[in-house]
Amino acid sequence: MEGARAFWLKEPGVGEIRPAQVPEPGPGEVRVRTLCSGISRGTETLVYDGRVPPDQYAVMRAPFQEGDFPGPVKYGYLNVGVVDRGPAALTGRTVFCLYPHQTAYVVPADAVTPVPEGVPPERAVLAGTVETAVNALWDAQPLVGDRVAVVGAGMVGCCVATLLARIPGVRAVLVDVDRSRAEVADALGVPFATPEQVEGDRDLVVHCSATSAGLQRSLELLAPEGTVLELSWYGDDETRLHLGGAFHSGRLAIRASQVGTVAAARRGRRSTTDRLALALDLLRDPVFDALVTGRSRFDDLPEVMGRLASGDLRTLCHTVDYPEEAPCTA
């Protein structure tokens, strides 16, 4: 056993760094030394606040989660590191893994995906979010010439809008109440509008704001027979909608999309491994660097997670830098 350190949610609202033991990798396993990890702000702050509904405890488990909701729990799934022990084909490679915030760990070799050459670790942590966007577009199946709005300019919304804007003929706009997101949209090459400014008659609206107001506005933006693809996860929040007006007469639809399962349109031909590899390949585009807007040290994670949950720290993708060697010994 070797010593490592991991971030744990001790109880809702209280995070801490704990020692962890990392065994020698066995046959078919790799040991990874973490370079950086990313905080999935929407989901991880809901976990931090203890807002995972009890009936979703099993569904919301991360692949390598330890402990149980509401806590103590080790949670997270955007991790990039270097394989320092394992099969020769992977040793020395930079890899992405759906692992929590921990300085080093051992997992099965098929749980890591090599990061393509030219994709820096700080950008590679977006792989899980871009994978969500890929799955959403497989669900939505936008057509050439579609008018699309993405409501909510967080990590997921920005990734969806970035991919949409690169489909020939699709006219996409990124919508948010925060006018400062216009700078990010400009860097991504996507037009920006506030909810009051955006024009309606949209064939498709992708909703990512996790607010009732955002979902309501998404419905209002649809053309007849249009669809809102719902990507938000609300935790235990109540969602209110007014379904009068054009909802019935316009034959509008709300459809959920969730990354836990490959979209039905591609389920017979693509695996989750294929989908993640595609997301990492898309991250060759440096335009995604515009989404990495915050950075801190691993040792500061307890404070940083609290500030993200409270809204005091308003970043898109917040990355965490790791020490070259964990100072803790087991």
Residues of the chain with CATH 3.40.50.720: 129-256
pTM of the full structure: 0.92
The pLDDT > 70 percentage for the chain reads 98
Strand stretches in the chain, DSSP E:
2-11, 14-22, 29-39, 66-67, 73-74, 79-85, 94-97, 104-108, 112-114, 147-151, 171-175, 192-193, 202-207, 222-230, 253-256, 292-297, 317-321
Output the CA–CA distances (angstroms, integers) from residue 124 to 90, 128, 187, 284, 292, in the order listed: 17, 9, 18, 9, 10
Residues of the chain with CATH 3.90.180.10: 2-126+283-321
Q: Quote the mean pLDDT of the chain.
A: 95
pLDDT in tens, 84-137: 999 999 999 999 999 999 999 999 999 999 999 999 999 999 999 999 999 999
Query: Hey, which residues does 5 pair with through a beta bridge?
Result: 19
Class of domain 2-126+283-321 (CATH, top level): alpha beta
pLDDT recorded at residue 233: 87
pLDDT band at 42 (very low <50, low <70, confident <90, very high): confident
Question: Of the segments 213-222, 233-242, 309-318, which one has the largest average pLDDT value?
Answer: 213-222
Residue 2 has pLDDT above 90, yes or no: no
pLDDT recorded at residue 1: 64
Class of domain 129-256 (CATH, top level): alpha beta
Query: Hey, which residues does 61 pair with through a beta bridge?
Result: none
